[in-house]
Amino acid sequence: MPRVALISDTHIPSRKETIPEWVVEEIEAADYTIHAGDFDSVDAFERVGEIAGETLTACLGNTDPGDLELPAVATLDVADIRFVVTHGQGDPETYKQRVAAIATEHGAGTTIGVSGHTHRVHDEVVDGVRLLNPGSATGAAPALTATMLVVSIDGDAVSVSRIDG
2-33 per-position pLDDT tens digit: 999 999 999 999 999 999 999 999 999 999 99
Tens digits of residue pLDDT in 37-51 = 999 999 999 999 999
- Indicate if the pLDDT at residue 134 is higher than 90: yes
Query: Mean pLDDT, to the nearest integer, of 62-67?
Result: 93
User: Computed from CA positions of residues 75, 78, 83, 86, in that sequence, does the dihedral angle turn out positive or negative?
Assistant: negative
- pTM: predicted TM-score of the whole model, two decimal places: 0.96
The span from the CA of 140 to the CA of 118, in Å, is 11
* Domain region containing 130: 3-164
Tens digits of residue pLDDT in 67-110 = 999 999 999 999 999 999 999 999 999 999 999 999 999 998 89
- In the chain, the amino acid numbered 36 is A
Q: Domain total for the chain?
A: 1
Q: What is the pLDDT of residue 149?
A: 98
**Segments in the chain forming alpha helices (H):** 21-29, 42-52, 95-106
66 — pLDDT class (breaks 50, 70, 90):
confident
The span from the CA of 134 to the CA of 121, in Å, is 5
Residues paired with 131 in a beta bridge? 113, 124
Percent of the chain whose predicted confidence (pLDDT) is above 90: 95
In CATH, what number is assigned to the domain containing residue 81? 3.60.21.10
